[in-house]
Chain A
Amino acid sequence: MSLFWIVIRELAEIEAMAASKKVITREEWEKKLNDVKIRKEDMNKLVMNFLVTEGYVEAAEKFQIESGTEPDIDLATITDRMAVKKAVQSGNVEDAIEKVNDLNPEILDTNPQLFFHLQQQRLIELIRNGKVEEALEFAQEELAPRGEENQSFLEDLERTVALLAFEDVSNCPIGELLDISQRLKTASEVNAAILTSQSHEKDPKLPSLLKMLIWAQKELDEKAAYPHINDLSKAVLEDPAV
């Protein structure tokens, strides 16, 4: 071992001792890593869960063939769900609402907030397309009654209607409502509600596991100095920083 690395190691130990932390060398750590058993089937399930929750039907089908992993949800329901999501993302909210009701009328019935957000999106689209009269009518007939039932709905409604006050909507302070990110937010909400109604978790498990890794490393930092994986996308083991 070169002198340089010896010094690095000693500095690490000194630092660890000062914080009374256990020092785990790279070699020791790699041995611990090697002792961990991860089953291929479990990893396949994790990937399938990701594909299915994100709605990648074709990829899920191909993965089922190529790996023999069973999807944890009926693939046919994904296509329907993706159609709804796409409709919202493209601004066709009426179409999306129809599709959701075809899929399961209870979803919107039991989800007043979701329904309000969809209606709000409809209003935004009308305003975006310059249909001022229609927008006002819609706001008064469909949204105002909802707003009366719920304070936060009312605030959202008022913000949205305020868009009409501006000539140049793209530059106004509430212009973000017209941004595509608003559509995506609503689309995500619908996606989650559909998954939930199908008794499926609305989020894929993989990101949670990655966060768990970040958290576990943080926790261990308080007690030991050991090699980390700092860049998750490259999964490279790095020696503890000195």
Chain B
Amino acid sequence: MSESNSNSNGVSNINIINNNNNNNHHHHSSSSSKEEKGRDLGLYFLEVCRRRGTGAEEGEEKAEEAPSELNTINSSGGFVVVSTDKLSVKYTNVNLHGHDVGVIQANKAAPTKLLLYYFEIYVKDAGAKGQIAIGFTSESFKMRRQPGWEANSCGYHGDDGLLYRGHGKGEPFGPTYTSGDIVGAGINYAAQEFFFTKNGQVVGTVYKDMKGPRFPTIAVHSQNEEVHVNFGQKPFTFDLKEFEVQERMKQQLKIEELPLTSNVSYGIVRSYLLHYGYEDTLNSFDVASRSTVPPIYIAQENGVDEQEIMYALNHRKTLRQLIRDGEIDTAFGKLREWYPQIVEDNTSAMCFLLHCQKFIELVRIGALEEAVKYGRIELSSFFGLPVFEDLVQDCVALLAYEQPLESPVGYLLKDSQREVVADTVNALILSTNPNMKESKNCLHSYLERLLRQLTACCLENRSLSGEQGEAFQLHRVLSSGKRG
């Protein structure tokens, strides 16, 4: 219809379609509020798709820079020689006093957005007096003093086994160490402590009262002392993973002690099943919870909310099934029959997603010509519209590959794409409920709201304590705890 008349401007294509659309009065009217709602809701899921397309993993943080080698620029040059790989240091001077220490820092400060940071040294040679130290210092540290001898630094010294935390006088801390020993230093952000190890065992911990970026630091001070450092490029002698597990457990145990109203979990799982329309599961769930001993009674006080979510359960379940099976045409048919108001606007985000899915299904079965035809009719108009463009481009790109599943746009062929479309349709149907108080309620199940609140609180907590420690990540919780 519009192809011969169209120019390359995507926007005017839309206008042509609009003008030819019998229902164009909807587009000119100042929003029937259902219409507005529909548009908003669909756009939310479109955004979810786009994020998946750019491969931005939900909840994952940008990797912080971590120390990888010794910093030869600001070291106390003249006292030490650093190897070419920047992972060993040797004291070449003859030490005379307390201000000719061969100190060297790592090239980067310790990252903070994790549970633990750790590095190790191997004492190759304790030299004349074994005055080796390992610890953390600040950026402005005086590079001729042992870590721990100056304020805002700390160091565990091999010659006396003492811990120095900013004064010349150290505290009894651990054993001494010498040639052949492997000594490690770490930061425990959860416990706000420094910890040190010797040959795989923790020797002690101390409260971390250092401010600002902490640079891993090693020092040598007597003739011929030589130390090799490991910033994680090689496996550590100390079982850091196990330590991490234990520290997480400690945290978990504290949390487990909190009281929780019984049956809250059941209620949340139930409302999740209701929200997304998993009808069969819900029925089995109800049967099972009634027949447990004692039967689980889920408070129905939120009866009004239940009404909201109970709404159109069977229809939503049917549509989800159709979409998950790739039967988009049938899905469209059912929607026209049951909820014509949400399919009226063919340019809504939901319809767009359904059309894309149809295109994807055609590509999946190898009906490429049909896909092209379909794309020309239904998808071309979305080119040039910023919100829709990315997804259209990715869809069309599928045609370019012999093995589309293995291409960068292969994500479209996965089950999860069908899932997003199904969730969109689900939300839109929920929005047609006259009892729906807030359209936002269609978007998120209770479970999702709770998880968002949890994530936001954890992030805020971390931000208010100097960005130290791990963020809450659901998929880490899910994959943890599997033993054996």
Contacts and interface: CB of A to CB of B under 8 A. Distances in A.
Contacts of B461: 216, 219-220, 223
A46 B447 contact: yes
Interface string B310-322: 0000000100110
Nearest to A228: B453
B457 A206 contact: no
A59 B265 CA distance: 15
B73 interface: no
A108 interface: no
Contacts of B281: 51, 59, 62-63, 66-67
Interface stretch (A34-42, A112-120, A130-138, A163-171): A34-42
A43 B288 contact: no
Contacts of A204: 265
Given A66-B320, A199-B484, A210-B264, A229 B460 contact: no
B448 A201 contact: no
B419 to A, nearest CB: 6
A214 B416 contact: no
B478 A68 contact: no
Q: Which of A33, A50, A212 neighbours the largest number of chain B CB atoms within 10 Å of its CB?
A: A212
Contact of A215 (B255, B293, B475): B255
A73 to B, nearest CB: 10
A42 B478 contact: yes
A215 B453 CA distance: 12
Contacts of B402: none
Nearest to A37: B58
Nearest to A31: B456
B460 A201 contact: no
A38 B261 CA distance: 25
Interface stretch (B33-41, B99-107, B267-275, B381-389): B267-275
Contacts of B320: 66
B27 interface: no
Nearest to B276: A67
Given A32-B456, A33-B456, A211-B255, A56 B264 contact: no
B294 A180 contact: yes
A67 B293 contact: no
Contact of A234 (B265, B302, B460, B484): B302
Contact of A212 (B269, B448, B472): B472
A225 to B, nearest CB: 11
Given A38-B474, A65-B280, A212-B472, A226 B452 contact: no
Contacts of B265: 50, 204, 206-207, 210
A233 B299 contact: yes
13 contacts: A33-B453, A47-B447, A59-B288, A63-B278, A66-B279, A66-B317, A67-B276, A199-B482, A205-B477, A210-B260, A216-B457, A232-B264, A233-B446
Closest 7 CB pairs of A and B: A37-B58, A199-B484, A235-B446, A216-B457, A59-B284, A58-B284, A235-B449
Given A63-B273, A214-B258, A235-B446, 10 more contacts: A46-B447, A56-B284, A56-B288, A62-B280, A62-B284, A66-B278, A199-B484, A215-B255, A216-B458, A235-B449
Interface of B: 51, 58-59, 252, 254-256, 258, 260-261, 264-265, 267-269, 272-273, 276, 278-281, 283-285, 287-289, 293-294, 299, 302, 305, 317, 320-321, 324, 415-416, 419-420, 423, 445-461, 464-465, 472, 474-475, 477-478, 481-484
Interface of A: 22, 24, 29, 32-33, 35-43, 45-47, 49-51, 56, 58-59, 61-63, 65-68, 72, 86, 89-90, 180, 183-184, 187, 199-201, 204-217, 219-220, 223-224, 226, 229, 232-235, 237
